[in-house]
Chain A
Amino acid sequence: MNSRDKMLQQIKLNMPSETILPEKIRFDSHFESTESKFVETLSAIYTEVIVVKDLNELKAKADELYASVTNRATTIPFLNSWADFSLNIADPHELELIEIAILEAEFGVAENGAVWISERHLPHRALPFITQNLAFVIPRNAIVNNMHDAYERLSDTTGWGCFIAGPSKTADIEQSLVIGAHGARSMVIFLIEDYPVL
Chain B
Amino acid sequence: MSRTIIEHATASETFNKDESYVDWHDETLWFVRQKRDKSSKLLPEWEQLREAASTIKNYVLSHMDTLLVSFEQKAKENGIHIHWATDAAEHNEIVLGLLRQHNIGKMVKSKSMLTEECHMNEFLSKSGIEVIDTDLGERIVQLRNEPPSHIVLPAIHLKKKDIGDLFHEHLGTEAGATDPQYLTEAARQHLRDKFLTRRAALTGVNFAIAETGGFVVATNEGNADMGAHLADIHIASMGFEKIIPKQEHLGVFLRLLARSATGQPVTTYSSHFKKPREGQEMHIIIVDNGRTTQLGRPDFRNSLKCIRCGACMNTCPVYRRSGGHSYHNAVAGPIGSILAPNLDMTKNADLPFASTLCGSCSNVCPVKIDIHDQLYKWRQVLVKGGHVPQSKELGIKAMSVILSQPRFYQWSGRLGRSVMRTIPFVVNNGLNPWFKQRDMPEPPKESFRDWYVRNRKA
Mark out the residues of chain B between 212 and 249 whose CB falls within 8 Å of any chain A CB in the assembled complex. Answer: 220-223, 225-226, 228-230, 240, 245, 247-249
Contact with B along A1-19 (1 / 0, CB 8 A): 0111011101111111111
A125 at the interface (CB under 8 A from B): yes
Contact A160 B273, beta carbon cutoff 8 Å: yes
Contact B230 A181, beta carbon cutoff 8 Å: no
Contact B272 A161, beta carbon cutoff 8 Å: yes
Contact A25 B248, beta carbon cutoff 8 Å: yes
Contact B52 A19, beta carbon cutoff 8 Å: no
Task: Specify which chain A residues have a CB less than 8 angstroms from the CB of B228 in the assembled complex.
Answer: 125
Mark out the residues of chain B between 181 and 206 whose CB falls within 8 Å of any chain A CB in the assembled complex. Answer: 181, 183-185, 188, 191-192, 195-196
B65 at the interface (CB under 8 A from A): yes
Contact with A along B62-90 (1 / 0, CB 8 A): 11110011000000001000001110001
A130 at the interface (CB under 8 A from B): yes
B428 at the interface (CB under 8 A from A): no
B250 at the interface (CB under 8 A from A): yes
Which of the residues A3, A14, A26, A162 comes within 8 Å of B90, measured between beta carbons? A3
Given A168-B221, A183-B268, residue A129 in contact with residue B229 (CB < 8 A)? yes
Task: Specify which chain A residues have a CB less than 8 angstroms from the CB of B275 in the assembled complex.
Answer: 158-160
Contact A129 B222, beta carbon cutoff 8 Å: yes
**In angstroms, how far is the closest chain A Cβ from the Cβ of B79?**
8
Tell me the complex Cα distance, A142–B422, Å: 75
Contact A182 B58, beta carbon cutoff 8 Å: no
**In angstroms, how far is the closest chain A Cβ from the Cβ of B111?**
11
B159 at the interface (CB under 8 A from A): yes
Given A11-B295, A182-B192, residue A112 in contact with residue B266 (CB < 8 A)? yes
Contact A14 B180, beta carbon cutoff 8 Å: no
Task: Specify which chain A residues have a CB less than 8 angstroms from the CB of B45 in the assembled complex.
Answer: 27
Tell me the complex Cα distance, A170–B163, Å: 14
Tell me the complex Cα distance, A156–B293, Å: 37
Given A178-B181, A182-B221, residue A151 in contact with residue B288 (CB < 8 A)? no
**In angstroms, how far is the closest chain A Cβ from the Cβ of B54?**
9
Tell me the complex Cα distance, A11–B241, Å: 11
Which chain B residue lies CB-closest to A44?
Answer: B265
**In angstroms, how far is the closest chain B Cβ from the Cβ of A144?**
11
Contact B226 A183, beta carbon cutoff 8 Å: yes
Task: Specify which chain A residues have a CB less than 8 angstroms from the CB of B84 in the assembled complex.
Answer: 2-4, 7
Mark out the residues of chain B between 270 and 297 whose CB falls within 8 Å of any chain A CB in the assembled complex. Answer: 270-277, 286, 288, 292-293, 295-296
Tell me the complex Cα distance, A116–B282, Å: 22
A76 at the interface (CB under 8 A from B): no
Contact B288 A93, beta carbon cutoff 8 Å: no
Contact A173 B288, beta carbon cutoff 8 Å: no
**In angstroms, how far is the closest chain A Cβ from the Cβ of B102?**
17
Contact B266 A147, beta carbon cutoff 8 Å: yes
Which chain A residue lies CB-closest to B167?
Answer: A173
A67 at the interface (CB under 8 A from B): no
Tell me the complex Cα distance, A159–B354, Å: 45
B313 at the interface (CB under 8 A from A): no
Given A172-B154, A173-B160, residue A11 in contact with residue B222 (CB < 8 A)? no
Which chain A residue lies CB-closest to B68?
Answer: A8
Tell me the complex Cα distance, A22–B296, Å: 23
Which of the residues B184, B225, B251 comes within 8 Å of A183, measured between beta carbons? B225
Contact with B along A79-110 (1 / 0, CB 8 A): 00000000000001100100000000000010
B255 at the interface (CB under 8 A from A): yes
Given A114-B266, A129-B226, residue A181 in contact with residue B188 (CB < 8 A)? yes
Which chain B residue lies CB-closest to A17?
Answer: B62
Given A11-B292, A19-B59, residue A113 in contact with residue B247 (CB < 8 A)? no
Task: Specify which chain B residues have a CB less than 8 angstroms from the CB of A10 in the assembled complex.
Answer: 288, 292, 296
Contact A162 B271, beta carbon cutoff 8 Å: yes
Task: Specify which chain B residues have a CB less than 8 angstroms from the CB of A174 in the assembled complex.
Answer: 28, 158-160, 163, 180
Contact with B along A144-187 (1 / 0, CB 8 A): 00111011101010111111111111111111101011111000
Task: Specify which chain B residues have a CB less than 8 angstroms from the CB of A164 in the assembled complex.
Answer: 268-269
Contact A7 B240, beta carbon cutoff 8 Å: yes
Which chain B residue lies CB-closest to A184?
Answer: B222
Task: Specify which chain A residues have a CB less than 8 angstroms from the CB of B136 in the assembled complex.
Answer: 170, 172-173, 181
Task: Specify which chain B residues have a CB less than 8 angstroms from the CB of A21 in the assembled complex.
Answer: 55-56, 59, 245
Which chain B residue lies CB-closest to A10?
Answer: B292
Which of the residues B196, B276, B288 comes within 8 Å of A7, measured between beta carbons? B288
Contact B301 A16, beta carbon cutoff 8 Å: yes
Contact A173 B48, beta carbon cutoff 8 Å: no
**In angstroms, how far is the closest chain B Cβ from the Cβ of A73?**
15
Contact B196 A11, beta carbon cutoff 8 Å: no
Task: Specify which chain B residues have a CB less than 8 angstroms from the CB of A124 in the assembled complex.
Answer: 229
Task: Specify which chain A residues have a CB less than 8 angstroms from the CB of B192 in the assembled complex.
Answer: 96, 182
A111 at the interface (CB under 8 A from B): yes
Tell me the complex Cα distance, A176–B240, Å: 34
Contact A93 B230, beta carbon cutoff 8 Å: yes
Which chain A residue lies CB-closest to B282?
Answer: A159
Q: List 23 A-B contacts (CB under 8 A).
A: A3-B86, A7-B240, A7-B286, A8-B68, A8-B69, A22-B52, A25-B249, A25-B252, A45-B268, A96-B192, A125-B229, A129-B222, A129-B229, A148-B251, A158-B275, A165-B264, A168-B221, A172-B135, A175-B153, A180-B188, A182-B191, A182-B223, A183-B268
Where the two chains meet, the residues of A that have a C-beta atom closer than 8 Å to any C-beta of B are: 2-4, 6-8, 10-22, 24-27, 41, 45, 92-93, 96, 109, 111-114, 118, 124-126, 129-130, 146-148, 150-152, 154, 156, 158-176, 178, 180-184
Q: Which 4 A-B pairs have the closest CB atoms?
A: A183-B222, A159-B275, A14-B296, A172-B137
